[in-house]
C-alpha cells in the first residue's frame, strides 16, 4: 500500500463543514483483499478511529459500517 496524495482541508470544504484529511491510496496487491481476511483489522482501525463505530454505511444505521468490516468487504 502506498500513499499517493495527501490533502489537508483546514476549514469548511467540499467534503465537510469540518476539517478533513483526504488520502489517495494505491492498494497495490491488496486491492482485492477482504477486511475479514486481515487479522484484527477492524479492531485496530477502530482503536485509531473510534468514531467509525457510529458510521452508517449501506446499512443505514449506526454501526452498519463496522458490521460490514467484520463480515468482510473489499479494501478498494
**Per-residue pLDDT tens over the stretch 30-40:** 999 999 999 99
The span from the CA of 25 to the CA of 76, in Å, is 9
pLDDT of residue 29: 94
pLDDT of residue 35: 97
The span from the CA of 67 to the CA of 49, in Å, is 15
- The position carrying cell 491510496 is 25
pLDDT of residue 76: 84
Q: Comparing C-alpha atoms, which of 48, 47, 49, 53 is closest to residue 66?
A: 53
Please indicate, yes or no, whether the overall pTM of this predicted structure exceeds 0.85.
no
Domain boundaries, the chain: 1-30, 32-76
Under 8 Å between Cβ of 65 and 56 = yes
Amino acid at each position: 500500500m502506498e500513499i499517493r496524495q495527501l490533502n489537508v482541508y483546514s476549514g469548511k470544504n467540499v467534503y465537510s463543514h469540518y476539517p478533513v484529511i483526504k488520502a489517495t491510496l494505491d492498494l497495490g496487491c491488496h486491492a482485492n483483499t477482504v477486511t475479514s481476511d486481515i487479522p484484527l483489522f477492524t479492531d485496530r482501525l477502530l482503536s485509531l478511529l473510534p468514531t467509525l463505530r457510529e458510521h452508517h454505511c449501506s446499512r443505514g444505521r449506526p454501526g452498519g459500517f463496522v458490521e460490514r468490516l467484520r463480515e468482510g468487504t473489499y479494501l478498494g
